[in-house]
Every structure is written in C-alpha cells, then in structure tokens.
Chain A
Amino acid sequence: MAPVKPSFFKDPASTQNVRAILRVVILLTIAAASISSRLFSVIRFESIIHEFDPWFNFRASKYLVKNGFFDFWNWFDDRTWYPLGRVTGGTLYPGLMVTSGAIWHMLRMISLPVDIRNICVLLAPGFSGLTAFATYLFTKEMKDSSAGLLAAAFMGIAPGYISRSVAGSYDNEAIAIFLLMFTFYLWIKAAKLGSALWGGLCALFYFYMVSAWGGYVFITNLIPLHVFVLILMGRYSGRIYVAYSSWYALGTLASMQIPFVGFLPIRTSEHMAALGIFGLIQLVAFVDYLRGQVPSKQFNTLLRALVILIAIVAFSGLVLLTVTGVIAPWSGRFYSLWDTGYAKIHIPIIASVSEHQPTAWPSFFFDLNFLIWLFPAGVYLCFRQLRDEHVFVVVYSVMASYFSGVMVRLMLTLTPIVCVAAAITVSSILDTYLEIDSPEEPDPDAEHKKPKKEKVKEVGGSPGGFLSSKAPYIGIYSITSKIAVVAAFSVYLVLFVLHCTWVTSNAYSSPSVVLASRMPDGSQHIIDDFREAYYWLRKNTPYDAKVMSWWDYGYQIGGMADRTTLVDNNTWNNTHIATVGKAMASGEAVSYEILRKHEVDYVLVIFGGLLGYSGDDINKFLWMVRIAEGVWPDEVQERKFFTARGEYKVDGDATDTMKNSLMYKMSYYNYQSLFPPGQAQDRVRGAKLPAEGPVLHTLDEAFTSENWIVRIYKVKDLDAFGRDHFSVTAFEGGKKKAKKGGLGGRAAGKRGRRVLRV
C-alpha cells in the first residue's frame, strides 16, 4: 500500500493522469478488500441475517418490498407487543429498509431478481466500500490524497467498524457510518468553500442519515460545536455562515419529515445546541456586518455586550421552556452518557443490554490496533496546521473519545476519526521518510521541495499562529534511519492487517443464530437449535398464536417463526416488558393469570445448561427480576432470588422463590431425567441439580430443540371440569401412583389424598 509520491517524478503535472487512474484502482482495491473481509460468516455459514435487531430490519424490508412504500409508512404491526401493537411505520428509522428496497427495485429493473434477504445480508459490506471512499474524501480535505488513501484502507478493515458491518449484520449502522462520514465530508467542503450548494448537499445527506440511524444526533451536535469553537477562536467568516445556515435550515426541515423524528428537532434538548448556534451565528453575522459599517471601538464593545445579553436571554428562555415542559428534558439514554451508573439505577432495561456497558480499555486496542496510538499524533498534527477543517477533526476526536469510553457501542463513531487521524500521521511520516533525496544543507531548496510547507506558512500568518508552524524544517539525512522507520511502519501495517483479519474472523463473524462446533473428526458441526425451534413454531402452530418470551428473542420470533410476540427488542413499553418479567419470575399461580390475560399460547425459554451456552435465560433472569421489581416492588423482589449468603444459585441451595419461579421450572423441567439419578448437571453454571426436578402444573412441554437450547411450552387451557391446574396435577399424580402400586384401592386412595392435601 504505497501512496503515490510526487517526489518520485520530476514533474507532477505530467503524471497527473497516471496518478488519477492509480488512485481509482487503489480505491477499488480498498473497496474490494473491505467487502471481502466482511464475508467470513457468509462463507463459513451461509447468507443469513445475524443476531437480533437485524431480524426486525429484515422483516420490515420484506414488508416494504411486499406491500409498497405507503403501506410501509402507515404500517401498524399487530403481530408484536400483543395486545398493544406497534405503530411500526412511525417508530422506526426507515432509511435502511428504503435503501435495500430501492436496491431491490433497481436490480429488478435490470432483470436481476435478487432475493431481498441477500440484499439485506450484503448491504453492510457493500456500504463499507462506500464508507472507505467517503473517508478518503474526508481525509483528502484534511491533508492530501495519499493520506486519504491510507485512511480509506484503515477504515475499510478497522475492526471497530467491521464489528457492526459484517455480512448479515443488517442494522442501521450498516449504512449510517457511510452517511456520517459523507455528511462530514460535505460539511467540510461547505465550510471550506462557503457554498450553499455544498451546504444543501450536506443537508440532504444529513436527512438521509436522520432517516437511517438515531445516532444522527451526533452530527446534529458536532457540526454546531465545530461552528461554536470556530466562533470562539475568532474565526467567524462568511463561509461558515453560509454553510451552517444552509445546512441547518434545510437539514432540520428535512429531518422533520421522518415521522419518528417529527418535531423533536425543535422540542428536545438534544437538538437545542444546533438551534442555539443557529441563533448565535445570525447575531455574530449581524455584529460582523455592523462592525464593517461602524468602525467605532466603543460601539463594538457595546455590541459585544448586546450579544452576550441576547445569548443569556436566549439561554434562560431555553431553560424556562425546558422547565415548563415545552422542550422535553434530556432523555434517560442521554443521561447515561454522562453518568455511567445512571442507567443501572434508573433504567435497568438500558443497562441490561451488553452493548450499553462502559468500554473496557483493552477493547480500544482490540478494535483499532496500532491506530489507537497513532490517533493522538494525528490530532497533534491537526493542531499544527489548524485550519478550519482541522478544528473539526479535533472537536470530533475529543467528543468521540469521550463517548466511546462511556458506551461500547459508540466505539463505532470513534473509529472513523481514529482512522483519519492515524492516516494523517502515517502519511506524514511516510512523506518525510520516503523522500529519496536527502535534503541539502538548509537552503531555500529544501523549502521548495515541500510545497506543503508553504501552506503551513500561510496559515501561520493568520491570527493565532502557532509556535510549531514557525519551527525550522528538518529533513532526514541518513538513509539508514529512513529505511528503519519505513520498515518499522511497514511491519506495523502488516501487523494491522493480520490483526484485523484475525479479529474479524474470530470475534465479529458469528451470526449468533447459528453456533458452530467441531465434531470429533474435526469437521464442522452446526448447532442450529434456534432455527429448529422457530421453524417448528412457524409450521406447527396456528398463525395467530401468541408466543411469550424474554424481549431479546422478540425480533427473532417475529422474523423466523412469524408468530405474534408480547415484547421485543424495540423496548418501547417498559411496563409490558416488566409484565413478562413478572410472569417469568413469579410462581405458577400468578404467572398463569398473566398468561391467560394476555392470551399467551406458547412460552419460549432459552436454556443453555445441556450445551454450556452461556447466553441463556437463567443468566439473564436477574434482569427480568430487576425490571419487574421496578414496576411491582411488592410482588417481585430481587433479594428473594439470592440465597441467605447472597449467592445466585440454581442447585439444591436455590431459594424457594427461585425454584418456584416459572423461568426456573421451564428451564429445568424434565432435565434431570437426561442424567442418571442425582447426577444432573448444569454445564453453564457448573451446578449439580437436585434429583427431583420441578413439576409444571399450568404448562405442557410442547417442543424442545435438539440440544435443549430452545424450550417451548404450551399454556394449558382451563380445565374441562373447572378445577384449578394444581389439583388436576395432584389428582393425576395420585392416580398414576395408584396404578403403579396395584394394591388395594384403599392404600392408593390414602396416598392420593395425602398428595391432594399437599
């Protein structure tokens, strides 16, 4: 990966065409590399939608191509959140589905009837190629095209981005990162040129971004922040004014067309910064204009006071509006960005999601490898030049670094800027060390060889010049040191590629719907329990059957089993989720009532005890308890699920509340019969289970998958004789014992009666 260096050629102008073609070829190669490195899971498994959320997006895309855009827009989904339903068309970001729908229609137009599933699976890799291109454009604005090519290459294979864009990971982020980078590029372009056209284009892509991902708020705040910092630095200019005003006015109006966003841009605190800066820049522009007209120093001071006054008034107005409730206060998810402990206390449902946890430090290196230590150097290099666009990089770096530390998921927004900064660093190093000619003794020639130098000088001339720009140019004299540095960096680059490949292949390419294991002979064995059970549901239950499960599996049940669910991964109604949590955490008498009231036909639990699959429901059970406790603190108490010594146990020492809970019973029902008496073992929790398994009164086991991962229970109908289910089980248990005993009816009757009394 050697960027083209003008210094090889005596006359850069004569090689312009060659370099252009080379750039195109390199970009195409980068795109190909970034696409193919995301195909591990397709090659290893199949073209399948991954994990949880993508299943909803996939289902929505299918709905879109089947029913058309307007039906999609007005989609009320009565097959989720039973019996409430969900106004799906108005509560999703349609960008992703519309994109794949448009691709589907386009391919159809040229007679390529590709299955919508394959489009969905391959959308993220396809867009990663575009992201690489957008990063190239962005970095080119920062330094030059060789840095751009490096940034594109980094972006193409950085694990931090791959983690969200492997084939099959059909989520909003799949297209959002491209849109993020491209919007930023257009913004830089608009700010540089002061062009309303570029500002308008930026607004257009901002609109696309709003339609695609909730993370658009990042752009909504970053661009105003950039402008604000520029104003503070005294770098206000007409260019910034034109760019910002055109972007904000058009972009905000456009973003309000998305039903899910609606009036949020003028009503919520998250968007107020952009509005405030819009007001501020009008004032600044006005002042600037007046300053041009009235060159009186006193007048300027007066104006400055006026500006400060207006700003204070506006801010207090904002505070007032927030307090009175016209503007919604910060949402809980936002608070959790400032206080990492906030969610755990106030909104357990957010804290229960693993991707909302704070980032562990090793994961920075894991996701970014050597880019992470080149990143500060790149930011430093931006400081050295500090044109308007470099301020953007600095602001972006600071913000994204903070947020990525707070939430694992936001590593994604950090990755692009790390790639850009690292590319600037590597490119600068290579620029310096790949110069074949050693510089002469300091003379005007050395100055001449580095055209970049002159630019720096120009910037240095502007107000706020920096020490660094005045530093004398020092070339590299020794060939050895050149070779050493270049060789070291080549090794780093190679290691980076190896690391990325390894991480992608091992950490980010598992569909999690399908698990892979090895047979004794080394061949791959696929554990396909999820699809086995979902498909059974799909084929062998009535179409309108209601399936209750923990919300994690809601989207998958909707997508694969095509059955009505009570709760799903769109966690919009906490009470409903808590109801399901309560049903799982309570004893059968309470649960059965909840199940009947919600017309539940089947209950689905995930149990990993046989196989050692650790992501099962018993391990998630405490979250169900916590969420239920949040709504019914009197009926469900987390404490009761811990033993006296404060341990969470499933074996013989488990508390009665635990043993009587529906979740425990469903997980371990009949499980002990798989083992010799008294030997039942839970392989996830390493616990030895009691010899006597739980008894279910109100549910029937309907289906258990091959490795017992998915267990489906059918909710019993009311007893035909009007008895409650406990006495029915007791009665039948008694009868069985009588038959087995085969003695006089008297003894059996006694035994039966005793059971009844219990």
Chain B
Amino acid sequence: MRPLHSRASLCATLLLAASHLGFSLEVPQVYKNTNLLRTIDAAKGYVKETIAVIIENTSDKPQTEYYLPFSVPGSSAVSYVECKDKKEGTPCKAEPVDDATDYPLKYYRITLPATLKPKAQVTLTISAGITGALEPIPAVIGQSDKQFLSYTGDRYAPSAYLTEKQKTKFRAANGEIPDYTDFGEKDVDKSGYIITYGPYDNIKPWSSESKAEKFTVRFEFTLPVIYMEKLERDVEVSHWGNNLAVEERYWMTNNGAKLKDQFSRLAWATTSYYNPPTAAIKSLLFPLRGGSKDAYYTDEVGNVSTSKFRSDSREAILDIKPRYPIFGGWNYSFIVGWNNDLPDFLRKGKGDGYILKVPLLQGPSQSTTYGSVEVKIILPEGATDVTYSAPFPVDKEERLLHKTFMDTLGRTTIKLTINNVVDDLKNRDIIVTYKYSTSAALRKPLVVLASVFGVYLVSALLTRIDLSIGK
C-alpha cells in the first residue's frame, strides 16, 4: 500500500513538473495542415523562415486562432513574425505566446484574417526572421580562408497540428555546400544552392516525447556576418530649422568565423589588389532618402576620412569604410548622421496638429542583425499629445525631455527600444502625431530675447553704481 501511494504521489509530482516545463501551452487540436512548404533562407547573415501552409478547420466550431511554433535552440531567437493570407494578401496578426517554456519551441498565436468555418481552408504565408541560428564552422579561420556557416534545423517543420504533406527547402547563400545531412531515404535533393527535404506525409504534431530529427547544412558564406550589438538612433525634428536631423550610433561586431592567429597587414595589402571575397567588413553602404545632405561619419576618436557621400533628389548613398577591416570577433563603433528637409517627412494636420512619418530603422544595405535598437524621436520643445504607430512591435517605450540648444523645458521625446532586430524590418515608417502651438514655437526666441535684454539691463545698472569709498 505504502509504496503504491508514494509512487502515485511521485507520478503526480512529475506530472506537475511536466506541466510546468513541457506542456504549459495546451493547443486545441482544431486544425490540420493540408500542405506545408517551409523555406529556410540563409542568404543573409541570419535565417529567414517562410512557411506557406494550407490549413483546414477540423473542428465543428468556427476558429480564429492558429498556433505556430518556431524552433529556437541555443542562442537563436525569433526576431519578428509576419503573416498574411496568401490569396487575399490581407495581413494577420501574429503575437508571441507568453511564457511558452516548451523549449526549444517558441509559439506564436496567429489571428486569422477572417473566421474560419468548419471544414473551410485558408492559405497562410508566415515569414519569420531568426537570429543566431547560423554558426561558423570552423569557428576560427585564417585571414584569407573561406568562411563556412552551418545551420541545424528540424527535418520536419514543427507544428502544433497534424501535417498531411510537407516539404522543407533550404536556400544556402552559395552553391558551395561541403556538408549536408542525408537521411539515406532519398528524400534529399540538392540543386544549385537549394537543398530540399521531403515531401513527407502525415507528420504528427510536435511533442516533447518524440525524438526530433535534425538536419545540418554547412555552406560557404562569402560575406561578413554583421551584428550591431547596439544602435542608438536619434531623429530630431526642428520646425525653426525646417530640418530633420538623423544621427545613428552603432556598436558593431563581426559575428563570423574568428580570425586565427593575428592580423597580417602584408597579406591583406597584397590580396586586396584583386579584391577577393572576404569575411571581413571592409565597407558599409547606407542608402538614404533622396535629398539627404550634410552627412558625416565619425567615431570616438574623431572624423573618419574614408567615406563617400553622393546625394541627389532621388537617392543618396553614404559609403563608409571603417578605420580597419573588421575580422570575425573584432569590434568597431561609429557614428553616422545626416540632415533632411522637414517637409518631406512632416505634414500639417488639423489645427496645431502635425503628422511625422519617418523610417523607424534605416541602416546599411548589407545584411545586418541588431541586438538592441534604441530610437529616439525628438520633437520640438513644447510638443504635446504625442501618439505614434510603429510598423512592428516595440519592446519598451519611454517618454522623456531632451534638453539641448537653449531649451528651457526640454524637447518632447519618445524613446523606443526594440530588441533583436533584423534588417528585413528596415525602411518601414513610424507615424507620430503631435500638437505644436505657435506660442510654443515662439518660446525660444522670446526667452533668448528676454535674457539678453536682462543681461543688458543688469550691466547698465551695475555700471551706474558707484562703489568707491572716498572721493
């Protein structure tokens, strides 16, 4: 009796633990995936996963929410998830499910664009950016060696539902693929730089008991793996100057294969004549909006002279070359900035209202991932009723006052922090609306006028006071 009892309690404890660890998320089995095509694109320094799936409501009730897990083992993390109805093109909402400790899966709850009736089907296209999933192997290479990245993923696309038919396509950056997993079942096909796994039929929903089968692809990556540990971006609106000033401060690391031994200038100088592909960051190209002007490129020790800036009304390009080539594991930090005419970004709304539309994230044209991005939108002093709508979810929002150039109160500022960003999200506009009255605009000139006048008055009075003791 006794041992049995204890066994039962042990089971209960285990179950309790399991429910905490494994099965915190209970996904109702109301769909099946009729057909699923997963494309894993590793052409950039991070992974872009696109899932095209036909789902069918197998329950007898209309459904609106669909769950989709992404596999994020190790240090990898989901940067963003976007979803749309493939036929209609209508976007649908995708949000992370909190505290899904179903490691290594990260669940997303997708709200379907329209309620799905029983037995009805809809085709969704879900794309996600996943950072940290590519690992350089070998981790250390010589200065002029080739760099290889390796991706390890699930053989079967993880899904919360039964998948009738599925296929996975892996798109490497390059046709040079020395290793890839072959399961020996004639399910692998390599053509050019694409490796296809599948098709597979009737794959059961993912569960922690079933042993996950993994495939690994190792491919050549001729570009540096650019990672911005931190980006601080200031967008400053000046009504008086009719100017929109942008300054971006970057802390950059090359996350590719680390440099073996030490850097040899000799080898670098002799090879750079014929410009071979290299895993070092040699230059960065910032495509800017047309009409950008006064661009600058500096770092902590001053101006860097190796930059080119070309601008006309259609487009502008800031081409910068870091002080030294940045090899794997090396760091660099720099500041770029430029000005734009304000009317290109600002529209007058009703009354004192203004509507500002600026890109939330710009950045180099090379594929880039960001650890954290802090965007400060600095509105004029005295701007009130600030609202914004961001093009993608923001992790943290702060309101503060930024005091500069003869401000008395400080400028109204919103600071948005976004973690783990990939450059797919760049050049999307944030819309900020605010109210800015004429009296607020006149504040600064009046204050300056008054204080200068005050100084004159005081000095005029002081000169008239006779402090001498005797005559």
Cross-chain contact A703 with B262 (CB below 8 angstroms) = yes
A619 within 8 A of B: no
Cross-chain contact A112 with B405 (CB below 8 angstroms) = yes
Cross-chain contact A535 with B404 (CB below 8 angstroms) = no
* Least CB separation from A528: chain B residue: B305
> Shortest CB–CB separation between residue B410 and chain A, in angstroms?
9
Rounded to whole angstroms, the CA-CA distance of A567 and B281 in the bound complex is 34
Rounded to whole angstroms, the CA-CA distance of A528 and B261 in the bound complex is 25
Residues of A within 8 A of B331 (CB): 539-540
* Least CB separation from A702: chain B residue: B262
**Contact bitstring B248-272, A, C-beta under 8 A = 1, else 0:** 0000000000000111111001000
Cross-chain contact B299 with A674 (CB below 8 angstroms) = no
**Contact bitstring B317-344, A, C-beta under 8 A = 1, else 0:** 0000001100000111100000000000
Rounded to whole angstroms, the CA-CA distance of A536 and B333 in the bound complex is 10
Residue from B265, B299, B404, B406 whose CB has the most chain A CB atoms within 10 Å: B265
- The listed residue (B262, B323, B408) touching A531 by CB distance below 8 A is B323
* Least CB separation from A524: chain B residue: B305
Rounded to whole angstroms, the CA-CA distance of A113 and B451 in the bound complex is 18
A144 within 8 A of B: no
Cross-chain contact B407 with A535 (CB below 8 angstroms) = no
Asked whether A111 and B404 contact (CB < 8 A) given A535-B300, A539-B332, A703-B324, the answer is yes
Cross-chain contact B264 with A670 (CB below 8 angstroms) = yes
Asked whether A704 and B265 contact (CB < 8 A) given A113-B404, A531-B323, the answer is yes
A560 within 8 A of B: yes
- The listed residue (B263, B299, B305) touching A703 by CB distance below 8 A is B263
> Shortest CB–CB separation between residue B346 and chain A, in angstroms?
24
B3 within 8 A of A: no
Cross-chain contact A714 with B262 (CB below 8 angstroms) = yes
Asked whether A531 and B404 contact (CB < 8 A) given A539-B330, A540-B331, A703-B324, the answer is no
- The listed residue (B265, B266, B323) touching A535 by CB distance below 8 A is B323
> Shortest CB–CB separation between residue A616 and chain B, in angstroms?
16
**Contact bitstring B377-403, A, C-beta under 8 A = 1, else 0:** 000000000000000000000000001
> Shortest CB–CB separation between residue B168 and chain A, in angstroms?
39
Residues of B within 8 A of A309 (CB): none
Cross-chain contact B265 with A705 (CB below 8 angstroms) = yes
Residues of A within 8 A of B299 (CB): 535
Residues of A within 8 A of B263 (CB): 701-704
* CB within 8 Å of B: which A312-345 residues: none
Rounded to whole angstroms, the CA-CA distance of A404 and B72 in the bound complex is 74
| Number of A residues with CB within 8 Å of any CB on chain B | 32
Asked whether A528 and B266 contact (CB < 8 A) given A111-B403, A539-B333, the answer is no
> Shortest CB–CB separation between residue B420 and chain A, in angstroms?
23
Cross-chain contact A536 with B403 (CB below 8 angstroms) = no
Residues of A within 8 A of B451 (CB): 110
| Number of B residues with CB within 8 Å of any CB on chain A | 28
> Shortest CB–CB separation between residue A65 and chain B, in angstroms?
16
Rounded to whole angstroms, the CA-CA distance of A727 and B435 in the bound complex is 76
Residues of A within 8 A of B330 (CB): 539-540
* CB within 8 Å of B: which A651-703 residues: 670, 673-674, 700-703
- The listed residue (A110, A531, A700, A703) touching B301 by CB distance below 8 A is A531
Residues of B within 8 A of A48 (CB): 302-303
* CB within 8 Å of B: which A496-545 residues: 514, 526, 528, 531-532, 534-536, 538-540
Rounded to whole angstroms, the CA-CA distance of A160 and B352 in the bound complex is 58
Main secondary structure of the interface of A (DSSP, over half): mixed
Rounded to whole angstroms, the CA-CA distance of A536 and B330 in the bound complex is 9
B304 within 8 A of A: yes
Cross-chain contact A111 with B405 (CB below 8 angstroms) = yes
Cross-chain contact A701 with B264 (CB below 8 angstroms) = yes
Cross-chain contact B265 with A113 (CB below 8 angstroms) = no
A46 within 8 A of B: yes
Rounded to whole angstroms, the CA-CA distance of A582 and B289 in the bound complex is 57
* CB within 8 Å of B: which A685-737 residues: 700-706, 708, 714
Rounded to whole angstroms, the CA-CA distance of A700 and B261 in the bound complex is 9
Rounded to whole angstroms, the CA-CA distance of A714 and B264 in the bound complex is 12
Asked whether A674 and B323 contact (CB < 8 A) given A111-B405, A538-B300, A540-B331, the answer is no
- The listed residue (B262, B323, B407) touching A528 by CB distance below 8 A is B323
Residues of B within 8 A of A531 (CB): 301-302, 323
Residues of A within 8 A of B264 (CB): 670, 701, 704
Residues of B within 8 A of A536 (CB): 323-324
* CB within 8 Å of A: which B30-73 residues: none
* CB within 8 Å of A: which B252-298 residues: 261-266, 269
Residues of B within 8 A of A705 (CB): 265, 324
Residues of B within 8 A of A670 (CB): 264, 266
Residues of A within 8 A of B305 (CB): 514, 526, 528
- The listed residue (B266, B332, B406) touching A674 by CB distance below 8 A is B266
> Shortest CB–CB separation between residue A57 and chain B, in angstroms?
16
* Least CB separation from B252: chain A residue: A539
* CB within 8 Å of A: which B113-155 residues: none
> Shortest CB–CB separation between residue B443 and chain A, in angstroms?
12
Rounded to whole angstroms, the CA-CA distance of A536 and B327 in the bound complex is 11
> Shortest CB–CB separation between residue B262 and chain A, in angstroms?
5
- The listed residue (A46, A704, A714) touching B303 by CB distance below 8 A is A46
Chosen A-B contacts, 22 in total, with CB atoms closer than 8 Å, are A48-B302, A48-B303, A110-B451, A111-B407, A112-B406, A113-B405, A514-B305, A526-B305, A531-B323, A532-B324, A535-B323, A674-B269, A701-B262, A701-B264, A701-B265, A703-B262, A703-B265, A704-B266, A705-B265, A705-B324, A706-B265, A708-B265
Interface residues of B (CB under 8 A from A): 261-266, 269, 299-306, 323-324, 330-333, 403-408, 451
Interface residues of A (CB under 8 A from B): 45-48, 110-113, 514, 526, 528, 531-532, 534-536, 538-540, 560, 670, 673-674, 700-706, 708, 714
